[in-house]
Each structure stands twice: as C-alpha cells, then as structure tokens.
Amino acid sequence: MITWIGLCAGEIWHCLDRHQGEASLQSLFAEIDAPKETILMAVGWLVREGYVLFNGSLQDFTVQLNSKLPP
C-alpha cells in the first residue's frame, strides 16, 4: 500500500506542475487514475512532508506546490 501511495504522490506532483503549481482536489480526482482514498492519502503524505500546501476553505480548497522548498 505504501508503494501505491508513493506512486500516487508522484502523479500528484506532476499534475500540479502541469497546472502551474496549483490544482483543485476535484481536478486531481479527475486527472489521476487512482481511487479517491489513495489520492487523499497521497496528498496527506505530501502535506506532512511539506511538499504541498492547502489554500482556501475546508469545503473548497486547492493543493499547491510549496514554493519555499530548497532547489
């Protein structure tokens, strides 16, 4: 399961990169071929590691690449 979550996290990263660093959760669900639960776990992993940030309210938020990461 950890492997699938990690692979999904990579797909999320690439999806965000294609969208200039920010996308809605709904667009991630539409573009990534994985169960919603896996996508949510992968987003959580990326947030925990500091790679992405949330913007907006709890009902309507976007996921954004963290621009403060070292190169």
Q: Give the pLDDT confidence of 41-59 residue by residue, as tens digits.
A: 999 999 999 999 988 877 7
pLDDT for 71:
59
Encoded tokens for 58? 């709890």
For residues 66 and 50, is the Cβ–Cβ distance under 8 A? Answer: yes
Q: Does domain 2-65 have CATH number 3.30.360.10?
A: no
36-48 helix and 2-18 helix, angle to the nearest 10 degrees: 80
Mean pLDDT of the chain: 90
Q: Parse the chain into domains and list their residue ranges.
A: 2-65
Which amino acid would we find at residue 66?
N
Using pLDDT thresholds of 50, 70 and 90, give the confidence band for residue 61.
Answer: confident
Encoded tokens for 21? 């660093």
